[in-house]
Structure formats: C-alpha cells, structure tokens
Structure 1
Amino acid sequence: MSEERSPGGTYAGAVLFDVDGTLIDTAYLHAVAWWQAFRQAGLTVPMARTHRAIGMGSDHLLDHLLGPDRDKDGDSALSASHDALFAAYWPSLQPFDGAARLLHVCRQRGWRVVLASSAKEDELSAMRAALNAEDSIDAVTGASDVASSKPEPDLVERALERAGVPAERAVFVGDTRWDVEAAARAGVPCIGMLSGGWSRAELEQAGAVEVYEGPAELLGKLDGSILSQPSKD
C-alpha cells in the first residue's frame, strides 16, 4: 500500500495523520460493523466495549476483545465479515469539516503530509476518495505495510520512513489512545482529536500534547499549535 510522490519543495518536518475517526467520520461505523460481525459468529461483545477498541488493527482488536488465548481459527472470517459490513458504508463516507483544508494548509506551511492508517488497501482507497485531498498528500501507509498494527509503533515508524524525516521532526494526529501510544513508542508527539469518541482527559492521560474537537478546530488554531510551522533546527 506504500506510495510516495516527489515533494514539491524543501520539507523540514512531517505531519502523520490517522484517517479513521480523525479525518473521516468512521469510528462508530466500524464499531457497528464489528458488533454485527461478532453477532453473526454467535459472539456477544457490547457495542461500547467494541468502540473502545476501534483504532487498533484487527490483529490487536480481536485479541483485546476476545482474549489472546482464544481459538483463533475464526479470526479471518470475523475480519472478512467486518470488511464486508463496513464496505456498505463506503458510498456515504463523510470527512470531518476542515479535514481536506487542514492537509492543504499543513503542506503549504512546509510539512510533508502522510496518511498513516491501520485500514486495508481497499478501505483506505474509499476513505481517500471521500476525503478528496490527493494534491495535499505526499505519502500513504496502510495495514499491508507493517507486521503489527497500532498500538505498536510499526505504522508510525513506516510513515516516518515514507516521509523521510526523523521522529523529532514529526507530529502524529489521531483520535484514540491507541494512536497516542503508537506515536509515543515511535518517539513522535501526538495531537489528539475528540472526533473518534475518546474524551479530552483520556487522550491527555495517554500522552497527547494537544487536544482539539476535530480538524476544523485545529485548523482555526493552527498558529498556536505545534503544527504552526515545521522546525528548521
């Protein structure tokens, strides 16, 4: 899934964006899709608990919700059911207000803009189509690029490689505790978004350096954020 284009200028830093729940309003759609997949398999997992696992890749999500010592023979079928159920929402996916503009302004200010998502290739393609911000995206990483998903740091580290900058010149933007933890393990500060359903206190406790309601608020307060300008030190 990795892809990259030649940058149009000199980039002193990179901003790495989670997509689900951060740029596109999908967190609760994923929760519903997983809940239905579990029900189809005869499993009962409360919706609220399912939502709290959204942001993990399916590998960690199933361990988190069903237990790591379970019989894992049915994992592939569960994941496939989720994917099929979630795909029904693709035509109606909606970006958050200000999401595309935020990417554009970040790139305009000298950041490399990288999408760093745990989504599979077809899901990520559908979200990118909904976002409609291809001219502002320098590189993309997805589930197929890493061995382990968030909260492990693999995805963030791979995004840094694609961006061509060290961790100290990057910022991650995500909406869950799992994003904040993955970024921290890669040595990257994380901006938290409330758009995925996690509270300000939870994101700050996990280590988020700043927290905003969503892309529109961050865009409006960009000059006072750590994304005001990339460091040139």
Structure 2
Amino acid sequence: MATEQPHGVLFDIDGTLVDTTYLHTVSWWEALRQADHPVPMATVHRSIGMGSDKLLDHLLGPERDRDDDPKLREAHDTLYTEYWERLTPLPGAVDLLRACAERGLRVVLATSAAEHEVGALRRALNADDVVDTVTSSADAQESKPAPDILEAALEQSGLSAERVVFVGDSVWDVAAAGKLDIPCVGLTCGGTSRGELAGAGAVAVYDDPAALLAELADSPLTRPR
C-alpha cells in the first residue's frame, strides 16, 4: 500500500470551482423550452454534469429524433455565453488550488466543458499560474459518467490513477472516478446533497471549496492512500 501523499488532484470546474451549475440548468431549460420540450428545471438540474449528448438522452429519451440536437446545443451555448463575464469562483476555490500547489500537489483541471467555455472558466478562476494541466471535451470520446476525461487528464499530466484524488460536485463525477478506482471528494455547492454524493461513493463530502480548504490537512487530498 502506498504511504506517500497523492501526487496530484484532479478538479472538475463547473459547480465545483466556479458557480455555474444553475446557469447551465437555466440555459438548458430555456433551450429545451424554445424547442417545445418542456422539462422541469429540477429535472434538468439533476442531469447537469453529464455531457450534452447523455444529458439530452437522459432528459428526452434515447429513442428520440436526434436531428434537433445540434440546435439544442447551440441554443444552450448561446444562452450560457451571456453569463461568461459574470462567472464567479465558489468560496475558497482559488485559495484551495493554491494551497494544493503549495503542498507540492499537481493541480489538474479535469473538465469536460467545451473548449470555447474553458477559457471563460479559467479567466473566472485566474489561477493559471498554479495549474499544471487543463482538459476539455475535445479530449474525451465519451462524456461523464464515462471516465474518458479523467483518463485524458491523467495522460496529459503524467499522473497515475493510484496517486490522485478527484474533486467534483455531481454523482456523475463520482461515477466516472469510480470506474478508474480514483477516490472522489464531493462538494455540495453544485446542488447535489451530501447523502447523494456519499451514496454514489464519494470518500468524503464538504460544503464547498472553502470547507475543504479548512480541513485540507486531514482530507483525502493530502492523506496517504
């Protein structure tokens, strides 16, 4: 069994480090409404964290006519873009990234956001100086809960699954990490409850990045595996 601390921490961004979960929820809800697909906002929220392909399967059914999917994605992107200049880091997010780097941990932003969204998220965080690697949806053939984006993050950063921890905010994050036997720390700031995250297999759950930072020394991020 390894006795050293993990070499790196993989972070989801949307809903984990930047307060975007409900912005995506509203954007998808409106995109679907415009296309005459009325889906309750709470149902949309439960799907956030999946890739857009799986999200639409989840909300509209896998047997649907997929011809309108590109228009739905474009409508979501157009609506979400309106928020880019107002994106805000969640409490303690930037300090958490810096604290991890100061402890010698490689900081990896393992996001499946589209490439054109990643720039806005990075500008909101303003922490590129401590970030080792950043992924995007272009790096994954299949979206979460498939583990492709985490596999890409490991490959690009030179880290191994045995020496990292993943931090995310959705059950889809926990599921993706579990497929690679990577411990996942859950944060409830994306709107998923402590019980749901723990029930999905999260090894620890905190309210937000600030709460995780406050207990960093005793957290799975720095405890030996």
Same fold (TM over 0.5): yes
Bin for the TM-score computed over the shorter chain: over 0.9
1:86 corresponds to which of 66, 77, 80: 80
2:43 corresponds to which of 35, 44, 49: 49
Report runs of 4+ in structure 1 exceeding 3 Å deviation: none
Instruction: Tell whether 2:76 aligns with 1:108.
Output: no
The residue number in structure 2 matching 1:158 is 152
The residue number in structure 1 matching 2:169 is 175
The residue number in structure 2 matching 1:6 is none
The residue number in structure 2 matching 1:97 is 91
Please list every run of 5 or more consecutive structure 2 residues that lacks an aligned counterpart in the other structure: none
Provide Cα deviations, 1:175-230, integer angstroms capped at 9, x if missing partner. 00000000001221100000000000000000000000000000000011011256
The two structures have a TM-score, normalised by structure 1, of: 0.92
Please list every run of 5 or more consecutive structure 1 residues that lacks an aligned counterpart in the other structure: 1-10
Report the Cα distance in structure 1 between the residues aligned to 2:169 and 2:52, rounded to whole angstroms. 17
Report the Cα distance in structure 2 between the residues aligned to 1:201 and 1:90, rounded to whole angstroms. 31
The aligned length equals 221
Q: Which amino acid aligns with 1:113?
A: V
The residue number in structure 1 matching 2:136 is 142
Task: Give the deviation of 1:13 after TM superposition.
Answer: 1.2
C-alpha contact (below 8 Å) 2:6/2:164 kept by paired residues: no
Task: Give the deviation of 1:12 after TM superposition.
Answer: 5.7
What secondary structure is seen at the aligned counterpart in 2 of 1:73? Answer: helix
The residue number in structure 2 matching 1:5 is none
Report the Cα distance in structure 1 between the residues aligned to 2:187 and 2:154, rounded to whole angstroms. 21
C-alpha contact (below 8 Å) 1:128/1:134 kept by paired residues: yes
Report the Cα distance in structure 2 between the residues aligned to 1:39 and 1:177, rounded to whole angstroms. 25
Q: Which amino acid aligns with 2:113?
A: A
Q: Aligned-residue CA RMSD in angstroms?
A: 1.2
1:53-68 counterparts in 2 under 5 A? Answer: 53-68=47-62
Q: Which amino acid aligns with 1:134?
A: D
What secondary structure is seen at the aligned counterpart in 1 of 2:152? Answer: helix
Report the Cα distance in structure 2 between the residues aligned to 1:77 and 1:119, rounded to whole angstroms. 18
C-alpha contact (below 8 Å) 1:21/1:195 kept by paired residues: yes
2:212 corresponds to which of 215, 218, 232: 218
C-alpha contact (below 8 Å) 1:13/1:230 kept by paired residues: no
Report the Cα distance in structure 2 between the residues aligned to 1:22 and 1:125, rounded to whole angstroms. 16
Provide Cα deviations, 1:127-169, integer angstroms capped at 9, x if missing partner. 1101110111000111011111110010111111122121110
What secondary structure is seen at the aligned counterpart in 2 of 1:21? Answer: coil
Report the Cα distance in structure 2 between the residues aligned to 1:89 and 1:36, rounded to whole angstroms. 14
Instruction: Tell whether 2:26 aligns with 1:26.
Output: no
Percent of pairs identical after alignment? 57
